[in-house]
């Protein structure tokens, strides 16, 4: 069985880096620990020439105009780029905007985008309802597709191969280096939603071209921020992404950026604790007679477990599990309603524990791993794992009583 050290080592190693982010080597006398918050739309310049010169620095994370980012946004962008291992980052208004902005930047009418069947549902809706309207071809592949199967789906006009690893509902881990080889062999970019793997998966070291983050989740960590980030490692990609973001008016407010930057400093210790608790709770659930399967990348029967062991340095706070098919969807919903330590909510990555049903709530073109019975996912927060287990135990009693 996977050890606690295996799921926390990446977070523990990251903590020292995180506490130093956005702190210059030489501090002015009397500097606060946290970067001051700057709000503002108009930026004043001493001369017209100075204004024109500054306006040419849109690729340099410089303060030009509020709608092009404030100093705190630019510091957050630099910090995210360091964690992801990229060169430049664009912070945007939400995690969904982090998915949609690069799709708009790197796709043209008449081109083809290939999405995993496990993709985040709002990304799928955007592809179906917006990209198709602008004559972008959309098709889907199984997140467990082999190189041969995936290669057969690539078309001469395929320009984006999208990945999400692991899937946020069904937790299939994708072979990102293999996807990168396929994409690059067909003159396409590999775009990855790396939200679950932020800090424990190095996207650019594994061949990714564009890495996407919902900063709403791990980085902010307190369920009070909506923001996203797109990171790249190539100058040409950065210029196209940055210009598209400016043209779309994509940015995040300074308060949200400041809160996220502050949250980053504690992300390592938060997630180390949460990953350890999630593993403990998942192991307890695995031994319950009501449970058919654990959907946690650290478990051998989770699709892509061997890839997770090879490519990741830890695990996150989010996992799922499938009940045996002797239990109904209605019984599972009664169990969820009975939980007191778990809030019922759609997000994850914060300090509080959450639960959400996943069966009958997502669109799939290919068979899902959730085949045994009704399924749910758990976000494990900072509560004592023993208290969460006790709550799940009483919830399972309700489950059995309803059946």
pLDDT in tens, 129-177: 999 999 999 999 999 999 999 999 999 999 999 999 999 889 999 999 9
What SS3 class is residue 210? strand
Which is more confident, 55 or 326? Answer: 326
The stretch 31-50 carries a mean pLDDT of 84
Give the chain's mean pLDDT: 92
Residue range 179-208: mean pLDDT, rounded:
98
Q: pLDDT at position 25, please?
A: 55
pTM equals 0.92
pLDDT of residue 40: 84
- Local confidence band at 44 (pLDDT 50, 70, 90 cut-offs): confident
- Return d(Cα 201, Cα 116) in angstroms, integer: 19
How much is the pLDDT for 225? 96
Question: What mean pLDDT is predicted for residues 360-364?
Answer: 70
């Amino acid at each position: 069985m996977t050890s606690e050290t295996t799921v926390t080592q990446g977070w523990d190693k990251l903590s020292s880096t995180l506490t130093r982010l956005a702190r210059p080597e030489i501090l002015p006398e009397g500097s606060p620990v946290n970067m001051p918050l700057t709000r503002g739309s108009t930026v004043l310049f001493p001369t017209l020439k100075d204004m024109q010169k500054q306006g040419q620095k849109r690729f340099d994370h410089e303060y030009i105009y509020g709608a092009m980012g404030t100093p705190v946004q630019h510091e957050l962008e630099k910090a995210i780029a360091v964690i992801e291992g990229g060169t430049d980052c664009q912070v945007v208004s939400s995690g969904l905007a982090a998915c949609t902005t690069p799709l708009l930047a790197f796709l043209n009418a008449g081109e083809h985008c290939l999405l995993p069947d496990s993709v985040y549902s709002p990304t799928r809706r955007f592809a179906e309802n917006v990209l198709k309207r602008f004559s972008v071809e959309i098709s889907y592949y199984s997140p467990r597709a082999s190189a041969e199967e995936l290669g057969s789906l690539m078309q001469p006009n395929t320009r984006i191969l999208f990945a999400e690893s692991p899937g946020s509902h069904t937790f299939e881990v994708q072979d990102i280096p293999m996807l990168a080889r396929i994409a690059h062999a067909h003159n396409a970019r590999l775009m990855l939603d790396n939200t679950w793997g932020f800090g424990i998966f190095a996207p650019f070291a594994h061949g990714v071209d564009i890495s996407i983050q919902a900063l709403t989740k791990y980085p902010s960590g307190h369920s009070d921020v909506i923001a996203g980030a797109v990171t790249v490692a190539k100058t040409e990609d950065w210029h196209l992404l940055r210009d598209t973001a400016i043209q779309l008016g994509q940015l995040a407010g300074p308060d949200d950026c400041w809160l996220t930057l502050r949250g980053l400093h504690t992300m390592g210790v938060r997630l180390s604790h949460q990953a350890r608790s999630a593993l403990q709770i998942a192991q307890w659930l695995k031994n319950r007679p009501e449970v058919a399967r654990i959907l946690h990348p650290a478990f051998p029967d989770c699709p892509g477990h061997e890839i997770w062991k090879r490519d990741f340095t830890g695990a996150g706070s989010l996992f799922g599990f499938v009940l045996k098919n002797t239990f109904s969807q209605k019984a599972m919903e009664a169990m969820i309603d009975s939980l007191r330590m778990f809030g019922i909510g759609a997000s994850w990555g914060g300090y509080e524990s959450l639960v959400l049903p996943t069966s009958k709530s997502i669109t799939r073109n290919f068979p899902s791993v959730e085949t045994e019975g009704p399924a749910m996912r758990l976000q494990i927060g900072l509560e004592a794992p023993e208290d969460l287990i006790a709550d799940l135990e009483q919830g399972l009693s309700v489950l059995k009583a309803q059946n």
